[in-house]
């Protein structure tokens, strides 16, 4: 099977790693106290303007991206999926708005963390299009918007990582908590 996998908050602990840096950025660069809306996802939860989000990504994310740790089990289970004969497509929205040289930085991060894959696709704002083009059978992402759009428009399995959107249930989306669970669900699909 062709398996699509997002990076941020699916393979990596991006929000967890950047959260304190974002609070510091709000205080020390934007010179205001952070107002946190826990109903929103990062970085919208901080109430930044679009310009402030771009500034944070240019000044902080770009410098820190290679230091963001992966989820502990991600490497182990991606390797198992590859050994089982699946193809792994890393599909991320990261682009030049988020990073200088986004392809190179994503590639370097994947290699640094020894995360196996067959193809890296960056700048994918509408992952449904990539899923169609690459004939993805299963998509794994943390974004409810991406997952719901894929579930509504394609007949593929969609797994939504439960890093946020904790109380959302949606037809066509299977919520997953970790890479062990993902692996076992995929194994059961293969055996069915």
pLDDT per residue as tens digits for the range 113-141: 999 999 999 999 999 999 999 999 999 99
Q: Are residues 30 and 119 in the same domain?
A: no
What are the CA-CA distances from residue 143 to residues 41, 65, 81 (Å)?
9, 19, 22
Q: Are residues 76 and 61 in the same domain?
A: no
- What is the 8-class DSSP label of residue 33? -
Q: Are residues 62 and 78 in the same domain?
A: no
Q: Are residues 78 and 55 in the same domain?
A: no
Q: What is the pTM of this model?
A: 0.92
Q: Which of 22-26, 66-70, 94-98 has the highest mean pLDDT?
A: 66-70
Residue span of the structural domain in which 61 resides: 14-67
- The confidence band for 30, taking pLDDT boundaries of 50, 70 and 90, is very high
Compute the distance between CA of residue 27 and CA of residue 89 in angstroms, rounded to an integer: 38
- The confidence band for 165, taking pLDDT boundaries of 50, 70 and 90, is low
Mean pLDDT over the full length of the chain: 91
Cα torsion 191, 151, 45, 64: sign? positive
């Amino acid at each position: 099977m062709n398996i699509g996998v997002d990076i941020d908050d699916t393979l990596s602990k991006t929000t967890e790693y950047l959260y304190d840096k974002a609070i510091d950025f709000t205080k020390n660069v934007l010179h205001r106290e952070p107002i946190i809306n826990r109903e929103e996802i990062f970085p919208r939860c901080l109430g930044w303007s679009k310009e402030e989000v771009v500034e944070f990504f240019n000044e902080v994310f770009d410098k820190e991206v290679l230091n963001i740790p992966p989820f502990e089990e991600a490497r182990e289970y991606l390797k198992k999926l590859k050994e089982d004969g699946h193809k792994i497509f890393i599909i991320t929205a990261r682009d030049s708005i988020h990073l200088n040289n986004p392809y190179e930085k994503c590639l370097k991060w994947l290699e640094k963390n020894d995360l196996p894959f067959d193809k890296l696709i960056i700048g994918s704002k509408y992952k449904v299009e990539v899923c169609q083009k690459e004939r993805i059978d299963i998509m794994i992402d943390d974004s409810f918007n991406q997952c719901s759009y894929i579930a509504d428009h394609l007949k593929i399995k969609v797994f939504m990582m439960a890093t946020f959107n904790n109380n959302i249930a949606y037809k066509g989306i299977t919520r997953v908590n970790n890479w062990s669970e993902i692996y076992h669900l995929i194994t059961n699909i293969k055996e069915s």
